Amino acid sequence: TQLLEQSPQFLSIQEGENLTVYCNSSSVFSSLQWYRQEPGEGPVLLVTVVTGGEVKKLKRLTFQFGDARKDSSLHITAAQPGDTGLYLCAGAGGGADGLTFGKGTHLIIQP
């Protein structure tokens, strides 16, 4: 069974601060996806990283895939209240059809 350890599980910071969310596994994934979910809604795809060492930027969000494709990070610069939500990392591949999800990071950005 593949496991994806996501940390931190809860984070509450002030507007304007920076933060990093981590996803780590002992398994190799063919790709890793990051989602953001708001209460009562389905997860929305933010980015997919495929290549080891890959870095993708989405405005103030920077996503990195580890060289060995076992870990990933999401860094948010100058967090805004609108960034509040549940962030999920999910790994694909390794013989499974679906995604292996981390437990999620509940992020609260206080004005």
Partner 1 sequence: GAVVSQHPSRVICKSGTSVKIECRSLDFQATTMFWYRQFPKQSLMLMATSNEGSKATYEQGVEKDKFLINHASLTLSTLTVTSAHPEDSSFYICSASRLSSGNTIYFGEGSWLTVV
Residues at the contact surface with partner 1, assessed by CB under 8 A: 6, 31, 33, 35, 40-45, 48, 50, 86, 88, 90, 92, 97-99, 101-104, 106
Give the residue with the Cβ less far from partner 1, 19 or 86: 86
Query: To which H or E segment does residue 108 belong?
Result: strand 105-110
Give the residue with the Cβ less far from partner 1, 64 or 105: 105
Is 77 in a helix, a strand, or coil? Answer: coil
CB of 108 to partner 1, least distance (A): 12
Provide DSSP, 20-61: EEEEE-SS--SEEEEEEE-TTS--EEEEEE-STT-EEEETTE
CB of 74 to partner 1, least distance (A): 15
